[in-house]
Amino acid sequence: MSSGLLHRWKNQYAEGKLNAEPSKEAELATRVRELERLLGKVTLENEFLKKAVRNSLKQTEKRKSSLPRIAPLSKAFKGGANS
């Protein structure tokens, strides 16, 4: 029997892959990996959304600053025809 095969079996046993029922440690390790993956995904989504909001606010400010300034209407025009 080669030492490489023995080493692989030993690792598989430690990970709960040789038992009919996976070990509690293996289940927890799998759960941790899944949660870490999800955390990474949510972090990336969060950063993307922050940048999108920041860019949207910048574009809104640019549009506001590029519009011509309009003087407020005088009191005579605000009341309409019956003033």
Query: Cα dihedral sign for 57, 62, 63, 64?
Result: positive
22 CB burial (10 A radius; 0-12, 13-18, 19+): middle
Q: Residue 44: CA atoms inside 13 Å, Cβ hemisphere, count?
A: 5
CA separation (Å) from 7 to 19, 21, 74? 16, 21, 89
* Per-residue pLDDT tens digits for 27-82: 899 999 999 999 999 999 999 999 999 999 998 888 877 766 676 665 555 655 55
Looking at residue 41, its amino acid is K
Higher pLDDT, 36 or 8: 36
